[in-house]
Amino acid sequence: MDDFFGGILFSLILVISYAVTAKGQNVTDSPSSSCDYPAIYNFGDSNSDTGGIAAAFFPMAAPCGETYFHRPVGRASDGRLIVDFIADDLGLPFLSPYLDSVGTNFQHGANFATGGATIRRPNESWFQTGVSPFPLDIQVEHYTQFKERSAYFYNQDKVESNKSRLPRPEDFSKALYTFDIGQNDLAAGFQKMSMEELRATIPDIIDQYATQLQGMYDRGARVFWIHNTGPIGCLPVSTVKVQNPVPGYLDEHGCIKSQNDIAKEFNKQLKEKLVQLREELSDAAITYVDMYSAKYGLISNAKKHGFEEPSKICCGIHGVDNDVWCGNKATVNGTEVYGGSCAKPSAIISWDGVHYTEGANRWIASHLVNGSLSDPPVPTTRACHRQI
């Protein structure tokens, strides 16, 4: 019975949702057609940074990149990230980081994400805490400059423009805008305040997020694909430090429950805010994507999906009171040790205790792109059709 009505509801949502297409996209297209994005513009943190923070500061150390790129390419993983798989699924190339000055091609988009980025402006410096000096509002500022300056140079360069490494100015309004940020606002909060204090700051974090989304709309973005935040309490770098937990501190899969509860509260408020934004931004197609469920679904059923124990870390050595980060050396118990990688990264979910392996990212992306975890339930390829 439930399934039957669920099915009807699902179809209804699909039918209604196809009534309008976000402006900039081809409104004469049939609603079920593919959106044909010419470009992707991504904003976020290390979960989707394809080399921004590495270009701004220091390159990523080997063995990062070993599985797919066979060299470090600024991604905190052994290979591709979720945003790479999304680009691939849309038939678009991997995104060059805006901050990279060498070897870039922005014809089909750019990546403004930087590892350590937050939604709110941080008070600490990168040198002290590793938090990115390029929070979301600065990423939006980078986008603004990118859009204006690339249009200027593209137009100057018309003859050469089919060889241009810059996007066509008319493509900005038809592009897909992807967002994956918030995890570091929560992580910073865990270190600085009580759970109650952190919980009380979530509305402000979400408001600042919405302000930037609105800003992107004002700058012509129309199709928004917004990942919620993952189960931060499951990150092995934290769970490995838990000793003799009181009953209920960890959930049945070994994740820190209070941290995941904060992530869920963030996600709940984000989802509500997006409902409101859909009404306010009359030409926008906004999709909320439940990244949390994808990641938690993998972690809670790791074996079934072909992965080992989800608390395992592939690269680096992390104990109760020592952290030898992936690719680094350190002295532990009087001996110099190297935080190298595991024999079979494809069998492990966590690459370095915080970030996911390429294998996990592939699994997660495959569950995101078909829309089964989206609200509304549209795949990436059809996310340009505005909901009513």
Ligand X SMILES: *[C@@H]1O[C@H](CO)[C@@H](O)[C@H](O)[C@H]1NC(C)=O
Query: Which residue of 367, 382, 385, 386 would you call a contact of ligand X, by CB under 6 A?
Result: 367
Q: Which candidate in 180, 185, 290, 352 is catalytic?
A: 352
Question: How many other C-beta atoms are found inside a 10 Å radius of the C-beta of residue 200?
Answer: 11
How big is the site for ligand X, counted in residues (CB under 6 A)? Answer: 19
Phi, psi of 162 (to 5 degrees): -80, -5
For position 30 contacting ligand X by CB under 6 A, the verdict is: no
Beta carbons of 324 and 61 less than 8 angstroms apart: no
Query: Which residue of 2, 3, 28, 103 would you call a contact of ligand X, by CB under 6 A?
Result: 28
The CA-atom distances, in angstroms, between 42 and each of 34, 65, 158, 204, 259 are: 20, 20, 26, 22, 26
Build a one-symbol-per-residue string for 308-327: x at contacts with ligand X by CB under 6 A, - elsewhere.
Answer: ---------x-x--------
Residue 160's Cβ-count burial label (10 Å; 0-12, 13-18, 19+) is exposed
Beta carbons of 312 and 357 less than 8 angstroms apart: no
Q: Which candidate in 17, 45, 46, 350 is catalytic?
A: 46
Is 132 among the catalytic positions?
Answer: no
Nearest to 229 by CA among 298, 272, 292: 292
Is 46 among the catalytic positions?
Answer: yes
Closest separation between CB of residue 33 and ligand X, Å? 8
The 8-class DSSP code of residue 94 comes to P
Query: Which residue of 9, 11, 16, 26 would you call a contact of ligand X, by CB under 6 A?
Result: 26
Q: Which two tokens stand for residue 99?
A: 């901050």
For position 332 contacting ligand X by CB under 6 A, the verdict is: yes
Which amino acid is residue 210, in one-letter code?
A: A
Binding piece for ligand X, criterion CB under 6 A, among 25-33, 106-114, 229-237, 278-286: 25-33
Is 385 among the catalytic positions?
Answer: no
Binding piece for ligand X, criterion CB under 6 A, among 22-30, 239-247, 289-297, 303-311: 22-30
Query: Which residue of 101, 128, 162, 243 would you call a contact of ligand X, by CB under 6 A?
Result: 162
Question: How many other C-beta atoms are found inside a 10 Å radius of the C-beta of residue 196?
Answer: 7
Which residues are tagged catalytic?
46, 352, 355
Residues binding ligand X (CB under 6 A): 26, 28-29, 120, 122-123, 159-160, 162-163, 317, 319, 332-333, 337, 366-367, 370, 372
